[in-house]
Amino acid sequence: MIKRLTLCLLLSTRIISGYAQRIELTSPSGNIHVIVQNIDKLSYQILMDEKLIIADSPLGFKFSHEPDMGTDLLLTDQKEQEVKENWVPVIKSKHAVINDYYKSIQLFFIEKAGLRRKMDMELRAYNDGIAFRYHLYPTERIGNRNLTKELTGFNFAGDPKAWIADYKKYTSSQEESFQPQKISTMTRDTKAGLPFLVEVDKEHYAAITEAKIDNYPGFYMGIDQNGSSSTTHLVTKLAPIPFEAEDSVKARFSDKFFTPWRIVMLAKSPGKLIESEIIQNLNDPCILKDVSWIKPGISAWDHWWSGEVKQDMPTIKQYIDLASAQGWPYMIIDWQWYGPFNKPEADITKAAPQLDMPELLSYAKQKNVRLWLWLYSSDVNRNNQFEEAFALYEKWGVAGIKIDFMDSDDQEMVNWYRKIIVTAAAHHLMVDFHGAYKPDGIIRTYPNMITREGVMGEEYSKFSTNIIPEHNVTLPFTRMLAGQMDYTPGGFLNVTKAQFKKGSLPTQVMNTRCAELSKFVIYESPLTVYCDRPANILNQPGADFLKDVPTVWDDIHVISGYPGEHIALVKRTGRNYFLAAMNNSSARSLKIKLDFLPAGIYELTSWADAKDAGTNPSNLVKSKQLVTSASMININMAIGGGFVGELRPAVK
């Protein structure tokens, strides 16, 4: 049921005159403020609990063959609204019902002289953050306007700590670790990925990201070293159009259009940011009429990660059997299923000679498993073959497609993503993008865009030493704030840091078995892809938990945590609750109150680190006990440890 309250205030028809103008917008709760000032140049600032979060920061644009835009503007009109709405998502990543409650203001500007160009802004104040976007128009000259720089800045007082993932270039898979460091350590060459988490102080946290990227490049965080010593000047860096220099064209447009939303998520603790739905709220409602075919779940995966996997019939059937044995709905057939890839002769409509696709589809159906197909992006795009291929996959009964190696978020690539998602939806195919840029909330509009990578995930355990416990407990507070992430958890060859061997076959992971289980609850991914081989999971301790754990949720509550240290949270599905915790490289004990439970008696089934898990990380202890909302439990986590618990109403 949707309830909507819209209040159009008297200011909506008033013409504002004068040169110096100050506009303030306050969140419904009254504790968050955004102030826009139009004094010679356009700027803004953000406050939370009267604490200055974003100091006076610039707004506007640079264009080729045009003057800069953002100075000498006249505010001609403004319209204010208050919106309160509850909506039901098709894919329940965190909540069964999402509250969309904000106050907004639209500002209409025109240059006082010269070209008399128009530019509008829309700002929204939520109880968990501020969002704004620009509305740009064509000029009198026929043809494209060439945008070369967005002037939006994010200026922080002093030199706060941030968690920075430097992608170093605009053409990347956005797979780096988020390192805690002072903002001043960034250089002019830094291209920091989003979300960009900032610890303003121990009671104020901000995370900068974006939503609804459409016909516009993704943005990165840079630094302006020419700023004053009292303020750190962060600048917006846009991915350039392919083959253009970094200081050249970023976006071309000939019609009016909106930029993506620029978001500053705000909370008193970093864990509270994880609960936010601001990114989805800033996207359009679902436009698909029939969504019955979009179904989340866990998938098996015949990838090279788990060993020297052969792309042949017996191997694929083994992974179909794994999915069936675990009760998972999907299995992904990975690269080389159509033979050589990323080559002119690649044909994504024909299986490789050693594979009998009709037999595999029939075998999977008998096992109550549906198949996903991996595709290389250039093979998909070649000669627009994807339209024919997607129609064929629908005929085959394929559930979805995993497309890889886009490695860019320039304007052209952003538009290509949308074209693929729309075409896939027309053929009832879900989509998992790898080699991808961060999510932007499009899952609300097109819920078939069910997950994507854009994260340094479990595959890095195969060939690096980067997947350490500190990285794993930083991701929920950084990359995961943007939304779904296909981390591909599930490594069951658990070893200590000293025991770990990079490039081992089969692949090892540097955390305990329980830490690995906790990722299935903590990490957000409605399609969760299990990474390991059948022999390593079947009938092993913890495999039973992966038969029960869902991938979508009715509610979420972060109990405690800090980036790089630990996280503990609880998620609800129906009347059942799943409690999970994960730790860094120090042993840790937590006391967890179960006051999130409704009245009644619950049976807690838990999987906890064994006493010797610090030296034998695969060891765990499974136990059961009866609890109530008045109960408190102790969680003892080993180095790189974890915990999972399933709480169900006790049977009378």
Residues 350-380 pLDDT 10s: 999 999 999 999 999 999 999 999 999 999 9
pLDDT, tens digit, for every residue of 126-140? 999 999 999 999 988
The ranges of the chain annotated as CATH 2.70.98.10 are: 5-281
| Structure-block tokens of residue 566 | 């630990």
pLDDT, tens digit, for every residue of 91-106? 999 999 999 999 999 9
Q: In this predicted structure, what is the pLDDT of residue 224?
A: 82
264 neighbors 54 (Cβ within 8 angstroms): yes
Of 361 and 244, the structure prediction assigns the larger pLDDT to 361
Chain position carrying tokens 């350490």: 468
171 pLDDT above the threshold of 70: yes
What's the CA gap between 452 and 455, in Å, rounded? 9
Q: What is the mean pLDDT of the chain?
A: 94
pLDDT, tens digit, for every residue of 9-49? 323 323 344 444 899 999 999 999 999 999 889 999 999 99
Quote the strand ranges of 151-239, DSSP E. Answer: 153-157, 161-164, 179-182, 196-201, 204-211, 219-224, 231-238
pTM above 0.85, yes or no: yes
Q: In this predicted structure, what is the pLDDT of residue 227?
A: 45
163 neighbors 197 (Cβ within 8 angstroms): yes
% of residues, the chain, pLDDT over 90: 90
Strand 129-136 and strand 257-258: the pairing is antiparallel
What's the CA gap between 482 and 495, in Å, rounded? 30
324 pLDDT above the threshold of 80: yes
pLDDT, tens digit, for every residue of 528-574? 999 999 999 999 999 999 999 999 999 999 999 999 999 999 999 99
What's the CA gap between 150 and 145, in Å, rounded? 13
The ranges of the chain annotated as CATH 3.20.20.70 are: 297-454
- Domain 5-281 is of which CATH architecture? Distorted Sandwich (2.70)
Chain position carrying tokens 């974003």: 54
Helices (H), 523-568: 534-537, 545-548
What's the CA gap between 161 and 564, in Å, rounded? 13
The ranges of the chain annotated as CATH 2.60.40.1180 are: 491-526+544-652
Average pLDDT over residues 582-608: 98
What's the CA gap between 558 and 127, in Å, rounded? 17
Q: In this predicted structure, what is the pLDDT of residue 12?
A: 31
Say whether 537 sits in a helix, a strand or coil: helix
pLDDT, tens digit, for every residue of 287-315? 999 999 999 999 999 988 877 678 999 99
Q: In this predicted structure, what is the pLDDT of residue 2?
A: 38
Chain position carrying tokens 């690269």: 335
Q: In this predicted structure, what is the pLDDT of residue 384?
A: 86
Q: In this predicted structure, what is the pLDDT of residue 229?
A: 54
Handedness of CA 243, 188, 251, 265 (dihedral sign): positive
With CA atoms as reference, report the closest residue to 588 among 558, 616, 559, 567.
567
| Structure-block tokens of residue 111 | 């240059």
Angle, to 10 degrees, between the axis of helix 411-426 and the axis of helix 385-396? 30
Q: Which CATH superfamily is domain 491-526+544-652 in?
A: Golgi alpha-mannosidase II (2.60.40.1180)
| Structure-block tokens of residue 31 | 């504790």
Q: What is the CATH number of domain 297-454?
A: 3.20.20.70
Q: In this predicted structure, what is the pLDDT of residue 18?
A: 46
Strand 400-404 and strand 370-376: the pairing is parallel
pLDDT, tens digit, for every residue of 210-240? 999 999 999 999 998 654 456 789 999 999 9
